[in-house]
A and B are shown apart, each in its own frame.
Chain A
């Protein structure tokens, strides 16, 4: 820009032009900062503020100290149930969905796969579908009496399963939708990672007589490390915020067995209108996600050097 200014001066632009030149970038970036301040920054501060108040709907906020947090962390079994459920979603996303996505990417990247473009389209199409629509489709497939899944199991001679009504099973049913809806997205990241590995590495290894297995463990996996970290972070941040799938499949039931933390926040804040208490849940989420984001920054900074 120094050189740009010098050139601008050398052609003797009028004074007005120079001033505009100096302020232009501020105008260009200002919409973000205005919108961000009004709709994100101030509301965030407001949320943190009211988490220290007892405030129900139209009533008057009453200062409550840290009692919202005390009640949340010590005296609210439903909240802890929601935390446990959410950890289940995050854990199974991390250790089942993400590895499956890696397998999927390896398969869809293989030169030995016939009709690659076709299969990629099939596997990636779920990413763009509406979770609401898909959750309703799955609700039909999971139906205890007439659902396709139970009919299928019974046709094979098995016993029907209460997919959405059994406390022990319902979380797996939610994960079924998550698996269907999200594996393709993660596979796209892995696929991009796989395609960025230079062919020469494999060629050199092949000349050195490395077997396919050796090439996989010594070239493919180590090269994918940054992508794996990235996927791990987006999966954990994303699944902590899960809402649509359990909300539409089961409304969190039966008996809160599939309730997620965000569902709990929504129920407390928007249905019960407990603004202060719900904001305490929000602050809790924020802290967890903030820590995860910090870990992300650390990992990526560290990974690059």
Chain B
């Protein structure tokens, strides 16, 4: 039975309207944020809101760098995210290669141990890890945000899944040519892994860039904060009578989210393939 034409048309219309309405709701907080970041306080709170600011100002952005160490926070976040991403790419691809392309004693149990490690919720170790970081003197420094997270189990799993699909014949050929096992990984395998490395890089970078709980726990000095921690601390600094930094925090929020959204629009494909591949475990 084919639907009557008019009914089909009506359905299409409703579908398009509903998606558009939902889309406006989804886009609204972002639009509002960007627009508010270029306004003075009184205009931020006018209703109906102006999308294009009537009195365009860059004052909020300037305040970020004069009243808070925003540049420092940006460098901290960027440095940590880049370093942790590079380390994760190296260690997960190496371990994924080990698990995918070698048969060795204890492989299966070790793999199971690795997988089951994902069942430990981070909150269980929050306190001991915090104590450990204090004892090591790593609080307020980058390594506390990088070193413990350099070899995530899910990342290794993702890599192993991908590497298993690559042909082993190339390894054989390289081995006959006298290549070491590490150079087989480095010269033969890594170049073939571009898509999965891209997916892994995006997931790791985003995770680090947006993470809040752990940086909040270990980065206590104003100068060592990452962006999310720093920008939340801006809101906490409202003293009675002073003007709340509404415009400045919208400028901060814009600088945190917009570059990431723009990059995402270009690399969406890798991101989605990474998510869905990591999602479906065997």
Contacts and interface: CB of A to CB of B under 8 A. Distances in A.
A binds B: yes
Contact of A262 (B1, B123, B131, B228): B123
Contacts of B129: 39, 43
B97 A28 contact: yes
Residue from A124, A152, A234 whose CB has the most chain B CB atoms within 10 Å: A124
Interface string B16-51: 101110110011011011001000000011011100
Interface in B42-80: 44-45, 47-49
Contacts of A152: 47
B241 interface: no
Contacts of B124: 44, 47, 279, 282-283, 285-286
B165 interface: no
Given A32-B151, A33-B110, A107 B125 contact: no
B119 interface: yes
Contacts of B192: none
Interface string B90-110: 010011011100111001001
Contacts of B198: none
A125 B16 contact: no
Interface residues of A, number: 98
A269 interface: yes
Residue from A32, A123, A139 whose CB has the most chain B CB atoms within 10 Å: A32
B212 A132 contact: yes
A28 B98 contact: yes
A32 B153 contact: yes
A81 interface: no
B133 to A, nearest CB: 10
A31 interface: yes
Contacts of A244: 212-213
A40 B276 contact: no
A192 interface: yes
A60 interface: no
Q: Dominant SS at the B interface?
A: helix
A137 B29 contact: yes
A24 B95 contact: no
B110 A131 contact: no
A108 B176 CA distance: 51
B132 A43 contact: yes
Contact of B104 (A26, A38, A270, A290): A26
A128 B206 contact: yes
B123 A241 contact: yes
B272 A25 contact: no
B181 A44 contact: no
Interface stretch (A70-78, A88-96, A114-122): A114-122
Contacts of A41: 117
Interface in B249-282: 249-250, 252-253, 256-257, 260-261, 264-265, 268, 271-272, 275-276, 279-282
A126 interface: yes
Contact of A8 (B104, B175, B231): B175
Interface in A36-57: 36, 38-44, 46-47, 50
Interface in B202-229: 206, 209-210, 212-213, 217, 227-229
A83 interface: no
Nearest to A139: B235
A112 interface: yes
Given A133-B231, A243-B213, A269 B121 contact: no
B58 to A, nearest CB: 19
B181 A20 contact: yes
Contacts of B107: 25
Nearest to B92: A32
Given A8-B175, A180-B29, A35 B119 contact: no
B86 interface: no
A209 interface: yes
Interface string A229-262: 0100010010001011001100000000000001
A241 to B, nearest CB: 6
B275 A188 contact: yes
B128 A50 contact: yes
B265 A286 contact: no
B164 interface: no
Nearest to A263: B213
Interface in A174-225: 180, 184-185, 188-189, 192, 209, 211-212
6 contacts: A29-B94, A119-B19, A146-B45, A188-B272, A275-B127, A275-B131
Closest 8 CB pairs of A and B: A28-B98, A132-B228, A1-B103, A24-B181, A43-B128, A25-B102, A39-B148, A133-B253
Interface of A: 1-2, 4, 7-8, 11, 13, 17, 20-22, 24-29, 31-33, 35-36, 38-44, 46-47, 50, 104, 107-108, 110, 112-114, 119, 121-134, 136-141, 146, 148, 151-152, 155, 180, 184-185, 188-189, 192, 209, 211-212, 230, 234, 237, 241, 243-244, 247-248, 262, 265-266, 269-270, 275, 278-279, 282-283, 285-286, 289-290, 293, 300
